Amino acid sequence: MYKKVRIPDVGKEKLEVIEILVKEGDFVNKKQDLITLEGEKTSIEIPSKETGIIKKVFIKIGDLVKTNSKIFLLKKKNQKEKKVHRNNILKVNKERNIFNKYDEIYTSPMVRRLARKNNINLSEIKGTGKKGRISKEDFLIFLEKKNINYKKYCSKDIFEKKFFFEKFGKTEKVNLNKIQKVISKNLCKSWLTIPHVTQFDEIDITKLEEFRKNVNLDILNNENNSVKITLLPFIVKVIGYALKNFPNFNSSYSEKSNTLFLKKYINIGIVINCDRGIFIPVIRDVLNKSIFEISIEISSFSKKVMSNFLKKKDMEGGNFTISNLGGYGGGHFTPIINFPEVAILGISKYINKNIFLNKKIFNIITLPISLSYDHRVINGVEAVKFINFIKNELEKFHGFIIK
């Protein structure tokens, strides 16, 4: 008995055939994936509803199909033939060491496709999602464990092949400089291998800003000190104390050995942007430096970055990174962790707000912050406590951070 296999209900959108998983003469089981389709917002695999042999293939890679499109001609098998073909296919797969039970594994079509192309047994990967679902991050972490090169998964070749911008108008292709390429590689590795979670909050810095402005007025009257103190040095200092009180944030995690390296020193990196890319010089031994010393060091690093005099050793040994976009505007954002660190704090432009308290209206200054952390090392409760510590010190401003 022959049966035409058609595309099930996939909506009104036409989907592109990007992968054909069987060929004429292949024996297929019920629920076995037959083809992979890709649309503008989704990628899906179409399974077989019957057990039998593929007698004819009506499609090819690149074809556009829609609901009810004809894709295969299937010859349904009786029970005796099913048993013979199943035994034969299992024997062949055993010899080739191919894992075919994809229907028993929860994951996305993209991960299945990458696994097939790289001959990776999905049963070896422990999924962290619901029902053991294997995420892309789980897949890439597995590749890193096996020392398989993951660079190709950050490649833009597919992007360039799929989109032909020239048909809409003139374009210019600009190559990244060496520094930008290194940054791109590191960010890609961090985003793909670290399970990021970002916690957002706002800090009332009204008292701190009043104090900071008074300090800068004193500096203007002192000819021996010309460095203007910004908000950043205060945040650096408070983060230093927070790292001391929450040691998991002051660590690095080894996926290979499942080991957490707790650091007994406190060095904080500061993201500085210039036209050549971003640089992260490191302020060392933060707790033993005053606000004035940290201010001078940040100013010195900024000048080195702009004049291209920053050295490699200036960017080594960081435990935690601060990304400050306050000077550029914008609200909350999701900063990417600076591998091999486990957390990063994003700072946005402060906002003037009116609040109603005790039947009175008060004007306050709030600072939006975004804390991204490695969820393998830090849980949500720890992240909230870390942020609350920072808020408490900056809002109440006990004065110790100026020392």
pLDDT (tens digit per residue) in 129-169: 776 778 777 887 788 777 776 555 554 444 555 556 777 78
User: Which residues are CB-contacts of 392 (< 8 A; sequence separation ≥ 6)?
Assistant: none
Tokens representing 128? 């962290």
Q: Flag the least confident range among 112-121, 155-164, 274-283, 332-341.
A: 155-164
Amino acid at 12: K
Question: What is the band of 128 on the pLDDT scale with cuts at 50, 70, 90?
Answer: confident
Catalytic residues: 375
Distance CA 137, CA 195 (A): 7
Whose CA is closest to 46, among 17, 75, 74? 17
Cβ neighbourhood burial of 75 (10 Å; 0-12, 13-18, 19+): middle
3-state secondary structure of 341: coil
Which of 100-109, 221-230, 378-387 has the highest mean predicted lDDT (pLDDT)? Answer: 378-387
| Percentage with pLDDT > 70 across the chain | 84
Cis previous bond, 47, omega within 30:
no
Phi, psi of 139 (to 5 degrees): -65, -45
Answer whether residue 296 shows pLDDT above 90. yes
Q: Which residues pair with 283 in a beta bridge?
A: 268
Helix (H) or strand (E) holding 298: helix 291-306
Q: Which architecture does CATH list for 1-100?
A: Beta Barrel (2.40)
Domain boundaries, the chain: 1-100, 105-173, 195-402
Topology classification of domain 195-402: Chloramphenicol Acetyltransferase (3.30.559)
Contact 311, 337 (CB under 8 A): no
Q: What is the pLDDT of residue 250?
A: 97
Q: What is the pLDDT of residue 101?
A: 46
Question: What is the band of 249 on the pLDDT scale with cuts at 50, 70, 90?
Answer: very high
Contact 199, 373 (CB under 8 A): yes
Q: What is the mean pLDDT of residues 332-349?
A: 95
Q: What is the pLDDT of residue 244?
A: 96
Residue whose structure tokens are 């108008």: 169
- Beta strands 15-20 and 33-38: pairing type? antiparallel
Which of 176-180, 193-197, 215-219 has the highest mean predicted lDDT (pLDDT)? Answer: 193-197
Distance CA 294, CA 352 (A): 26
Q: What is the mean pLDDT of residues 109-117?
A: 75
Strands (DSSP E) found in 143-223: 196-204
Amino acid at 15: L
Tokens representing 195? 């399970």
Q: What is the mean pLDDT of residues 316-340?
A: 92
Q: What angle do CA 58, 61, 65 make, to 5 degrees?
A: 60
Distance CA 126, CA 132 (A): 7
Largest CA distance in the chain: 97
Whose CA is closest to 193, among 204, 185, 203, 201? 185
Distance CA 10, CA 17 (A): 13
Q: Give the alpha-carbon dihedral of 387, 389, 394, 397, to 10 degrees.
A: 170
Answer whether residue 91 shows pLDDT above 70. no
Distance CA 113, CA 72 (A): 20
Whose CA is closest to 82, among 127, 115, 48? 48
Which of 1-5, 38-42, 127-131 has the highest mean predicted lDDT (pLDDT)? Answer: 1-5
Topology classification of domain 105-173: Dihydrolipoamide Transferase (4.10.320)
Going from the C-alpha of 6 to that of each of 57, 107, 208, 243, 369, the distances in angstroms are 11, 24, 67, 59, 51
End-to-end CA distance of the chain: 86
pTM over 0.85: no
User: Which residues are CB-contacts of 158 (< 8 A; sequence separation ≥ 6)?
Assistant: none
Regarding predicted confidence, which is higher, 216 or 238? 238
